[in-house]
Chains A and B, each alone.
Chain A
C-alpha cells in the first residue's frame, strides 16, 4: 500500500499528489466504502430497530437477518421505471433530487472521522481540513431545501407543492437556531476548522456538550427538523400530503431523495458528534486514568475512528428512536416551536457564552 503510494508520489510530483490524487482517493473511499454502505445499512438498521420497537421482526428474508436487504432495495430502486409526469417542469423535476443529495455528500469532505496524521505523511482521517469548514457546512446544509422546493414545484402536483412549501418554511425556521447553536462551540474553540474544534475540546479537557448543553439540545432538535425526520417530517407527511414533495418521483430519482434524507441524517449526526461530543476523542479526554480508552493499540489512529463511529451510531439510533415514539407536529406548532423556543434559547445561550468568553 505505502509502496504504491510512494510510487504514485514519484510519478506525479508532490503538488499533484497531495492536493489532487490523495483527496480523490480519500473521496472515493469515503463515498463508496463509507457513506454509501453506511446509508444502505442505516436503512436496514432503521427497519430492524423499528421492528424490535414495534413487536415485529423487520426484514429477515433476504440473506442472513436480512443483511442483503439493502442490496435488494437498491436493485429494485435502480431498475424501476423512471417516470416524469407529462406536465412536470422537467428541468426542475430532474434537478431537485440532485440538489438534495450532492450537498450532503460534499459536507463529508470536511468531517473529521478520526484524528489527523500523527506523523508527517501519515494517514489523516478526513478528506480535507479547511479553516472555514463550519461555514461551509452551514452553507451546504442550506442547499437541499432548494432541491425539495424545486422537486415539489416541478412535479406539478398540489400535494408536492404543499410539501415543498412546508419544507421551505421549516428549513428557514430551523436554519436560524441551528446556526446560532453552532456559534457556541465556535466561540469556545475560536476556530472554524472542524479539526480545530475537536482539538479545542481535547485541550479544554471536556466535550463541548458540557458547557454548551443548551446549544447541543437546540442543534439536535433543529437537526432532526433539518433532515425532515420524525417528529418533524411534515414535508413528506404521508397521511397528510401522500408523500409530500416526492409524491411523483419513482425509481432512481426517488432513490436520490431517499439517499439525501439519510445522508442528511448522517451529516447532522457527524457535525453534532464533532462539535459537541468531541469527535474522535474518548470520553473524559483529560483524565489520564482512562487513557486505555484511547484504543492506542489500533494502528494509525483507528481508535479515534472507532469512537467517532460509536457516537455516530448513538445519534442515528436516537433518530430511529424518535421515529418509533413520536407523533408528528402540526405545521404551525412546528413554526411556533422554532421561532418561539429554539431561537430565543439559542440566542440566550449565545449571549451567555459570549459573556463567559469575555470575562473568564
Chain B
C-alpha cells in the first residue's frame, strides 16, 4: 500500500481535482496548483526581459524544489501509520487470477470481464451463462456456499439491472462475486438448482427489483405481500412509499387517499364487515 501512495495523484486520473476541492486529503494537489501562478509570473517576466536561460533555470529549480518537497512529503506520509495517511481509495484492476483464467477457458466469450476491486474478484457474465458459471464454480472450483444474491438498479444504463452473486469457498477462504446485467423484461436463469440457498435471495430480487428468475421453484414476492404493485428498491419508486390502503381495504379508503398518500384522511367510516354467523 505504501509504495502506491506517492504516485497516487497521477493514477487517480480525474478524481483528485474533486477531492482537492472538498477534502483535506487533496493536500499535494493543492500545493502543486499553488506552484503554477508563480511559474506563470516568472515566465512572463522572462519573456519581457528575454532571459530565457535564467527562466529555464529558475523553472528547473522550482520543479526540482517541488519534486523534493513532494518526495519529502511522500516519505513523511509513508512514515506515518496507515490511519494518519489519506485514504487509499482502491480501484478496479484487471484480474490476473488462475480462477479467472480457468473460467475464461471454460466459458469463453460468455465471461465478459474479470476484475478486482479492493482485492475482491468480480466476474461479469453473460445472462445466459449464469447457471453454467454457477455450476462450474460450485462443482469444479469448490464454491459451495452461496452468500448472497442481490440486485442493483441503474436506470440510466441499457440493461437496467445488475444481479450480483457472492459465493464463497470454505476450503480456501476465497470469495468471488459475479454479476449479470439484465433488462427490464428479461429473465435470469435461476441458480436455485445449483445452490438452494439462492432461493429466498432471488425471490427478494424479484420482489424488490422486478427481475424474474427463470425456473425458480417459487417465484413469488417475499417481503412485500402478494398483490403489491411496484418494486420498492427501484430508483424510481418513491421513498415515502405508495398508497396501498385502497388496494387492501377498498371499502375503507378512497382511491389514492390512503394513509401513505399524504392526506391520511381517506378513511371512510363504515361498520366493520360482518362475517357470516
Contacts and interface: CB of A to CB of B under 8 A. Distances in A.
Direct contact between A and B in the complex (CB less than 8 angstroms)?
Answer: yes
Interface of A: 86-87
A86 B277 CA distance: 7
Interface string B110-136: 000000000000000000000000000
Interface residues of B, number: 2
Contacts of A87: 277
Interface string B260-277: 000000000000000101
A87 B275 CA distance: 10
Contacts of B277: 86-87
Instruction: List the 3 closest A-B pairs by CB distance, nearest first.
Output: A86-B277, A86-B275, A87-B277
A43 B275 CA distance: 40
Contacts of B275: 86
Interface of chain A, main secondary structure = loop
Contacts, number: 3
A87 B276 CA distance: 9
Nearest to B274: A86
3 contacts: A86-B275, A86-B277, A87-B277
B277 to A, nearest CB: 7
Contacts of A86: 275, 277
Nearest to B275: A86
B69 to A, nearest CB: 67
A86 B275 CA distance: 10
B274 to A, nearest CB: 10
A85 to B, nearest CB: 11
Interface string B236-277: 000000000000000000000000000000000000000101
A68 B275 CA distance: 43
A355 to B, nearest CB: 62
A93 to B, nearest CB: 15
A56 to B, nearest CB: 38
Nearest to B276: A87
Nearest to B277: A86
A86 B273 CA distance: 14
A194 B257 CA distance: 74
A87 B277 CA distance: 7
A76 B207 CA distance: 47
Interface string B190-231: 000000000000000000000000000000000000000000
A154 to B, nearest CB: 16
A172 to B, nearest CB: 34
B63 to A, nearest CB: 76
A221 to B, nearest CB: 44
A140 B30 CA distance: 95
Interface in B42-91: none
B273 to A, nearest CB: 13
A88 to B, nearest CB: 12
A86 B276 CA distance: 10
A161 B132 CA distance: 51
A212 B275 CA distance: 59
A77 to B, nearest CB: 28
B275 to A, nearest CB: 7
A339 to B, nearest CB: 40
A351 B128 CA distance: 77
